[in-house]
Chain A
Amino acid sequence: GENVEQHPSTLSVQEGDSAVIKCTYSDSASNYFPWYKQELGKRPQLIIDIRSNVGEKKDQRIAVTLNKTAKHFSLHITETQPEDSAVYFCAASSPYGGATNKLIFGTGTLLAVQP
């Protein structure tokens, strides 16, 4: 069935360090992998996404890598800042149902950046 596993569930880093969050998806037909950041009491916000035809994408301090063979994708945040503290969700597009934008989400990672 459709499943996305996300690790770790909590991550604490010192300001300036790097943070890495990893996800594994179950269905090889998934072809779109967004990452969302959700601050306390706020909406999930799309921070970066990657499509299956590329292996890596960067946007300033954020990067995402995709290994289609292993069905892994990861979020990398460099030079972390206190404002990076939030819950991060990975997601994979559902390969079933044809014309659909259904996303399967990981269970989230609570990132705490200590000043």
Chain B
Amino acid sequence: KAGVTQTPRYLIKTRGQQVTLSCSPISGHRSVSWYQQTPGQGLQFLFEYFSETQRNKGNFPGRFSGRQFSNSRSEMNVSTLELGDSALYLCASSLEARPNTEAFFGQGTRLTVV
């Protein structure tokens, strides 16, 4: 069974631009969560999607948004990029959107804002 796939692996963007990241969950998994990983803040929860609905949202500005498609694939978008948005963006795939459910991470997308 294929694991969680994130594309692209690396991105370099300029301040003010926008970016879209993609995540394909493990086949059969319906929940996708996104996390931002930085050296200073560790892994911070961005949002979670299940059955095309946002179930939960972290404490990030409205520039960060996401969506989920009917095949469970998810995208996240960051508009008006800032230098501080440089980070590793990880998505995690779970069978269900409830506590006690194992979450499996993708390789991440390394975003650099210059």
Interface residues of A (CB under 8 A from B): 30-32, 34, 36, 42-46, 49, 51, 89, 91, 93-95, 97, 99-108
Contact = CB atoms under 8 A, between A and B. Distances in A.
Contacts of A32: 99-101
Contacts of B104: 46
Contact of A31 (B55, B99, B106): B99
A41 to B, nearest CB: 9
A106 B41 CA distance: 10
Which DSSP category, helix, strand, loop or mixed, fits chain B's interface?
strand
B102 A49 contact: yes
Interface in B21-42: 31, 33, 35, 42
A34 to B, nearest CB: 7
Give the residue among B98, B103, B108 with the most A Cβ atoms within 10 A. B103
